[in-house]
Amino acid sequence: MNAADEQERAAINLELKALYASLNEEEQKEFNTQLQLFLTKEMGRIKSDYESIQGTIHQN
């Protein structure tokens, strides 16, 4: 999440919670599925970035 500060992050979290609460059960399931896919993809990207940085550090 690209929040500028803690206050903005908290506001975004509140918006997401309100959105989720407004969804029906089927929409919540789809939201959860899409969120899991997004998080899995992002974790893979972060791991790749980390490994790339670690490789560069150990080569120097």
In a structure prediction context, what are the per-residue pLDDT tens digits for the chain, which is 60 residues long? 678 999 999 999 999 999 999 999 999 999 999 999 999 999 999 999 898 898 777 776
CA dihedral angle for residue 48, residue 52, residue 55, residue 60, rounded to 10 degrees: -160
Structure tokens at 54: 């670690």
Return the pLDDT at 54.
87
Write down the residue that tokens 């999440």 correspond to. Answer: 1
**What pLDDT is recorded for position 28?**
98
